[in-house]
Amino acid sequence: MNTDLATAVDGAAAAVADGGRTATMVDGHTRRSGAGAAASFQPRIVGFLCNWCSYAGADLAGTSRTHYAASVRVVRVMCSARVDPTFVLKALAEGADGVLICGCHPGDCHYSEGNYKTMRRFPLLKKMVADLGIEDERVRLEWVSASEGQRFADVVNDMTQRLRALGPSKIKIALATDRAER
């Protein structure tokens, strides 16, 4: 794991663990967002998409002119198995409200079994995220094939809706406060 990031993550854990201060921050944050903000809040999702299925699926959503929430920012990786947990934590630390990992359907991975590795790693990642005090719904794993442009759009829409209900992520602010106070 990248050492910079390890520090960042430790910081996040410490900040989030310190309930009182974080709560103030959260209050401040929600108040700033204003009433009724949940509906208008546009979550920022970092999507790690495997090159062979999911990236092509997202591309298809685009070329098919499918309308979906403009909330996902895509980072292409060769295979879902390339997604180092570090990347997910980094995205959350940088202010992502959610992280979406997409790979080929089980059995269809371009590299035979990369997605099975992802599948095995993912529960650990979810647990780690939860242990850091972050709602584990903020990370999501989905299988999207190259022909499933509509499915990609549906996944993004659904995740966007759930993140709206959850509200903005507090991690970045918690980290900033933590750094400022150190």
Annotate each residue in 14-43 with x if it binds other proteins (CB under 8 A) or - if it does not, as one string. ------------------------------
Of the candidate spans 11-19, 73-81, 149-157, 172-180, the one that interacts with ligand FES by CB under 6 A turns out to be 73-81
Contact between 101 and other proteins per CB under 8 A: no
C-alpha 90/C-alpha 162 separation (Å) is 21
Distances in Å between the alpha carbon of 73 and those of 15, 98, 125, 130? Answer: 26, 10, 20, 23
Contact between 109 and ligand FES per CB under 6 A: yes
Distances in Å between the alpha carbon of 38 and those of 5, 32, 85, 135? Answer: 30, 12, 28, 17
Task: Measure the CA angle with vertex 153, ends 152 and 158; round to 5°.
Answer: 100
C-alpha 127/C-alpha 130 separation (Å) is 5
* 105 DSSP 8-state letter: P
CB of 117 to other proteins, least distance (A): 5
Contact between 52 and other proteins per CB under 8 A: yes
Using CB under 6 A, which residues numbered 51 to 70 contact ligand FES? Answer: 52-53
**Cβ distance 46 to 99 under 8 Å?**
yes
Q: Name the residue nearer to other proteins (CB basis): 18 or 154.
A: 154
CB of 41 to other proteins, least distance (A): 16
Binding partner of residue 6 among other proteins, ligand FES, none, CB cut-off 5 to 8 Å per kind: none
Of the candidate spans 13-21, 32-40, 104-112, 119-127, the one that interacts with ligand FES by CB under 6 A turns out to be 104-112
User: Which one, of 61, 45, 59, 144, lies nearest residue 99 by Cα?
Assistant: 45
CB of 119 to ligand FES, least distance (A): 10
